[in-house]
Amino acid sequence: MLISSGVIRLILLSALLAFSPLVQAQQQAPESELKAAILVNMLLFVDWPTQASQPTDRLTLCYLDSGPVAMVLDHLNGKAIKGKALQVMRVNVNMVTGCHALYVSPNDSTALARVIPSLRTSGVLLLGDSRGYLQRGVMINLDVDDGRIVFDVDLRSARVAGLVMSSKVLRLARKVVE
C-alpha cells in the first residue's frame, strides 16, 4: 500500500505539533537571562547628566550581590550600548557613585537602605527586580506578571537624579510613577 505525500505531510505536521511544547520549553530563556537582557536594554532609553565621577567612554553597570541576574550581566560585559562599551562590575555600597547604573537584587534589600540616600541626586540609574523596590527609590523595577516579565518606572526618582528617560520606555512600562 502506498501512502500519498499529503498523508506523509499530515503525519509529520502532527508529530511536530505534538512535540512543539517541548521544543518551546527548551528554547525559552531562563528568567535571569531575560531580566538581564531587559535591564541592559533599558540603558538605551536613558540619558545621563555629565558627571565627573562617571566615565564618558563607556557605560558602567554595577551590581552589589552576585545573584543569578548579576552573573548573567557579567556575561554582557563589553556589549556595545549607545556606541559605548558596557562595563559590568561588582561594587560595594561605598563605591556606587562611579556607576551609570546600579542593579540591586532581591538579596540587596538591606544594602538598598544604605545606597538610596547617597544616590538620590547622583545621576545613577537604580535598577531592580524585587517587589516593593519601586516604592523604596528604585527607578526601574522588573516583576513577573502572569508569566511575563514587566517593568515599572519611578519617573520622579529618575528626574531627581538628573536622568532623562525616553517616552518609548515609558509607554512600554506597566506603571509609571510621576
Q: Is 69 in contact with 39 (CB distance < 8 Å)?
A: yes
Spell out the per-residue pLDDT of the chain, length 178, in tens.
Answer: 444 444 344 333 343 344 334 334 434 789 999 999 999 999 999 999 876 566 678 899 999 988 899 999 999 999 999 899 999 999 998 888 789 999 999 999 888 888 888 787 788 999 999 999 999 999 999 999 999 999 999 999 999 999 999 999 999 999 999 9
Within-domain flag for 116: yes
Q: Say what the pTM is.
A: 0.81
pLDDT tens digits, 90-103:
999 888 878 999 99
Using CA atoms, how far apart are residues 72 and 25, in angstroms rounded to an integer?
20
pLDDT tens digits, 105-114:
999 988 888 8
Within-domain flag for 15: no
Within-domain flag for 112: yes
**Bridge partners (DSSP) listed for residue 153:** 140, 176
Within-domain flag for 133: yes
Q: Which residue range(s) make up the domain with 69?
A: 31-177
Number of independent structural domains in the chain: 1
Within-domain flag for 2: no
CB atoms within 10 A of CB 148: 9
Within-domain flag for 79: yes
Q: What is the pLDDT of residue 4?
A: 47
Indicate which CATH number applies to the domain containing 89.
Answer: 3.40.50.2300
